[in-house]
């Protein structure tokens, strides 16, 4: 399996996004020395795609497959794409506050510590649906790791499309997320334009 090992803060600087979007609250002391180079239309479209891929931790082939599925669905293609990325199991773990970052959410899912509707799931790209109940396994709830995570993420606001019970480490998907509820700094129309060429 391919893994992106590029330093996170360096990548955030180059893409112009805040590390807090990823759940990382470190600050970089370095500043990007930008020349007054004019960015082409293609360059802007490519940057938006790279932002979305980096934020959700998805590689090119998988991202392209998400776009193909999104374009076959009814509605606005860009919104469908972001909705599919939001409904990934590793992202749901991050949004519910059961992981500090999406990478940690992916690791927790990969270690088989999560159940969806009572069944153990270890695929981080698993698409959750409305009504699904995501819960940390009973055996794993007392782990020190989850106590530390809850201490760190206890102050976050949960999205309106899920209800979270932090005591039981359980989240229920109540609705599909709308574009207004997806708070990532990406212009999805530029991604659609890039793939529509």
Q: Which domain range does residue 110 map to?
A: 89-175
More confidently predicted of 17 and 31: 17
Total domain count, the chain: 2
- Is the model's pLDDT at 7 over the cut of 80? no
Residue 1 belongs to a domain: no
Alpha carbon separation from 20 to 32, 69, 107, 184 (Å, rounded): 18, 29, 19, 10
Residue 50 belongs to a domain: yes
More confidently predicted of 189 and 14: 189
Distance CA 128, CA 94 (A): 14
- pLDDT tens for each residue of 107-159: 999 999 999 999 999 999 999 999 999 999 988 888 898 888 888 877 778 88
pLDDT in the model for residue 197: 77
110 shares its domain with 149: yes
Q: Residue 89: CB partners within 8 Å, gap ≥ 6?
A: 105, 109, 114, 116, 121, 123, 124, 125, 126, 127, 128, 134
Distance CA 169, CA 135 (A): 6
114 shares its domain with 132: yes
- Residue 13 sits in a domain whose CATH number is 1.10.1050.10
- pLDDT tens for each residue of 91-120: 999 999 899 888 899 999 999 999 999 999
Residue 64 belongs to a domain: yes
**Number of alpha carbons in the 13 Å side-chain half-sphere of residue 62:** 17
In the structure encoding, which two tokens stand for residue 169, read together? 């480490």
pLDDT in the model for residue 3: 67
Q: Nearest CA to 70 among 79, 57, 59, 58?
A: 79
Query: From the CB of residue 37, how many other CB atoms can be counted at a distance below 10 Å?
Result: 7
60 shares its domain with 107: no
Distance CA 127, CA 116 (A): 10
């Amino acid at each position: 399996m391919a893994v992106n090992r590029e330093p996170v803060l360096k990548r955030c600087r180059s893409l112009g996004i805040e590390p807090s979007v990823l759940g990382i609250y470190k600050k970089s002391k370095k500043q990007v020395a930008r020349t007054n180079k004019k960015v082409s239309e293609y360059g802007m479209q490519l940057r938006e795609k790279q932002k979305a891929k980096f934020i959700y931790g998805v590689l090119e082939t998988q991202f392209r497959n998400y776009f193909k599925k999104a374009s076959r669905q009814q509605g606005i293609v860009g919104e469908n794409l972001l909705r599919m990325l939001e409904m990934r199991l590793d992202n749901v773990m991050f949004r519910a506050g059961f992981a500090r970052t999406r990478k940690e959410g992916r690791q927790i899912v990969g270690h088989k510590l999560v159940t969806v509707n009572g069944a153990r799931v270890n695929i981080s790209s698993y698409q959750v649906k409305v009504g699904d109940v995501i819960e940390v396994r009973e055996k794993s709830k007392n782990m020190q790791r989850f106590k530390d995570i809850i201490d760190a993420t206890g102050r976050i606001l949960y999205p309106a499309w899920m209800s979270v019970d932090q005591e039981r480490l359980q989240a229920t998907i109540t609705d599909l997320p709308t574009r207004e509820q997806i708070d990532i700094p990406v212009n999805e129309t530029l991604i659609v334009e890039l793939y529509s060429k």
